[in-house]
């Protein structure tokens, strides 16, 4: 066989044939940092049929701490226990798991806040206490938040998941959707989930965003292919906070709207107890003129739809020219003096690299620099013509330009 295909966010190590041929015998895959591998780690070459058809998949969990809901509430098992990053099946007595009441066809749902290409859903069940095992389980992915059966089916499991087990369910094809629902269909039971992870290769891993001079206490996250740094243990003035962000290749968070606003607020809300103060800088300010009323983002864009809190902005003492998210006002906007030097802040920037690029079968990637601004090229074996983009650029957005090319045999 010639060079094997390579999925996005992965690297391959090949082993040459030992029977005197010039081809390859096997290929072993490894994911980039921050991604998990699903499927076969090693694929083999069949001299007649070529490479195994099922490639592995490298994905990152996009369900962690996103908003959740379930069909009924219990005090002991709120829905958020199922995506808090604590599967806990190594310590069953200390597990924190979601739990519904006993009812017909109970369900649990996570809102990813934006449509994601979902490939794998992994479920960890409760490991103790005699709860009824999960059975007749359906996983659906789609954009309907009200009609569960309207969303496409990712997986159906008619069997029973035993206590304290973890099982991965792979969708037959990638499903694009904002909501992922788990339901016990036609069963009267309580639904208890200790962890639900939803894997996509469409989102950046936080590892792609880590600046070398990042403070150890900084919380690094990604959403909608943008990197966010939550500086929640240090306080700075507006200008000093901007300098910190700019030293990491970004700026204070700006141009936030829609789902991004929901995401940022949900992150702040769950970190409330860790914040030094409930006033958090964002990148919006106005000219320090008493008569000025035009607010602009730090990138120069005019703020079109500010979400001010009640009686804000009030420009107290004529010197409140910068904006914070105010936890005492449900994270609505408040204008404050720019020199307050003890406020937390949020940075926003693009990733530092595009990650490992994908390649189709029989193509070889030339180049190992995957940082922003770098380029790679593709080669074909002797006797083949390259069809498509021979070069691809790692763009400032953290996404490779174009698409991987194909190699076509000149004699066909």
pLDDT, tens digit, 9 for 90 and up, residues 182-230:
999 998 999 999 999 999 998 999 999 888 778 878 899 999 999 999 9
What pLDDT is recorded for position 109? Answer: 97
What pLDDT is recorded for position 53? Answer: 74
Local confidence band at 291 (pLDDT 50, 70, 90 cut-offs): low
- Say what the pTM is: 0.89
> Can you tell me the distance from the alpha carbon of 204 to that of 227, in angstroms, rounded to the nearest whole number?
8
Judge whether residue 412 has pLDDT over 70: no
What pLDDT is recorded for position 24? Answer: 83
Beta bridge partners of 349: 227
> Can you tell me the distance from the alpha carbon of 79 to that of 82, in angstroms, rounded to the nearest whole number?
6
The mean pLDDT of 11-27, rounded to a whole number, is 80
What pLDDT is recorded for position 272? Answer: 87
Local confidence band at 162 (pLDDT 50, 70, 90 cut-offs): confident
* pLDDT tens digit sequence for 343-369: 999 999 999 999 999 999 999 999 999
> Can you tell me the distance from the alpha carbon of 110 to that of 369, in angstroms, rounded to the nearest whole number?
36
What pLDDT is recorded for position 88? Answer: 63
Query: Which of 96 and 177 is assigned the larger pLDDT?
Result: 177
The mean pLDDT of 113-121, rounded to a whole number, is 96
What pLDDT is recorded for position 124? Answer: 94
What pLDDT is recorded for position 87? Answer: 77
What pLDDT is recorded for position 202? Answer: 87
> Can you tell me the distance from the alpha carbon of 293 to that of 315, in angstroms, rounded to the nearest whole number?
10
Local confidence band at 89 (pLDDT 50, 70, 90 cut-offs): very low
Local confidence band at 92 (pLDDT 50, 70, 90 cut-offs): very low
- Alpha-carbon distance values, 202 to 19, 117, 176, 205, 391 (Å): 40, 6, 10, 10, 21
Of the candidate ranges 7-21, 347-361, 368-382, the one whose mean pLDDT is the lowest: 7-21
Of the candidate ranges 10-24, 54-68, 276-290, the one whose mean pLDDT is the lowest: 10-24
Local confidence band at 130 (pLDDT 50, 70, 90 cut-offs): low
What pLDDT is recorded for position 19? Answer: 61
Judge whether residue 93 has pLDDT over 60: no
* pLDDT tens digit sequence for 238-248: 999 999 999 98
What pLDDT is recorded for position 90? Answer: 45
Residues 6+ apart with CB under 8 A from 356: 6, 8, 9, 10, 11, 32, 370
- Alpha-carbon distance values, 57 to 39, 40, 122 (Å): 6, 9, 14
């Amino acid at each position: 066989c010639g060079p094997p295909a390579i999925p996005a966010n992965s690297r391959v190590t090949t082993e040459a044939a030992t029977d005197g041929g010039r081809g390859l015998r096997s290929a072993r895959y490894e994911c980039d940092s921050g991604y998990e591998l699903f499927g076969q780690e090693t694929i083999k070459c069949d001299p007649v049929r070529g490479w195994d058809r099922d490639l592995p998949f490298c994905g990152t969990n996009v369900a962690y701490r996103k908003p959740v809901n379930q069909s009924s509430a219990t005090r002991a098992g709120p829905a958020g226990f199922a995506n808090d990053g604590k599967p806990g099946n190594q310590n069953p007595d200390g597990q924190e798991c979601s739990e519904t009441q006993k009812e017909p066809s109970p369900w649990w749902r996570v809102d990813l806040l934006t449509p994601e290409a979902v490939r794998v859903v992994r479920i960890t069940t409760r490991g103790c206490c005699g709860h009824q095992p999960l059975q007749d389980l359906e996983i659906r992915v789609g954009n309907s938040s009200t009609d569960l059966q309207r969303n496409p089916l990712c997986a159906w499991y008619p069997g029973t998941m035993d206590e304290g087990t973890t099982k991965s369910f792979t969708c037959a094809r990638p499903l694009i959707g904002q909501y992922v629902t788990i339901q016990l269909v036609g069963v009267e039971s309580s639904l208890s989930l200790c962890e639900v992870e939803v894997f996509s290769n469409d989102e950046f891993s936080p590892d792609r965003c880590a600046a070398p001079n990042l403070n150890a206490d900084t919380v690094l996250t990604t959403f909608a292919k943008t990197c966010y740094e939550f500086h929640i243990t240090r306080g700075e003035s507006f200008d000093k906070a901007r300098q910190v962000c700019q030293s990491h290749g970004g700026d204070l968070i700006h141009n936030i709207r829609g789902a991004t606003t929901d995401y940022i607020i949900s992150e702040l809300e769950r970190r409330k107890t860790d914040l030094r103060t409930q006033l958090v800088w964002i990148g919006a300010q106005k000219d320090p003129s008493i008569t000025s009323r035009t607010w602009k983002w730090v990138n120069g864009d005019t703020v079109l739809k500010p979400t001010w809190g009640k009686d804000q902005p009030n420009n107290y003492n004529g010197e409140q020219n910068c904006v914070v998210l105010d936890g005492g006002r449900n994270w609505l906007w408040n204008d404050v003096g720019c020199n307050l030097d003890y406020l937390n802040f949020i940075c926003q920037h693009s990733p530092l690299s595009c990650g490992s690029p994908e390649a189709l079968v029989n193509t070889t990637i030339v180049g190992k620099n995957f940082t922003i601004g770098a380029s790679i090229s593709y080669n074909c074996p002797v006797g083949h013509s390259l069809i498509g983009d021979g070069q691809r650029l790692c763009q400032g957005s953290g996404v490779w330009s174009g698409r991987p090319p194909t190699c076509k045999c000149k004699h066909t």
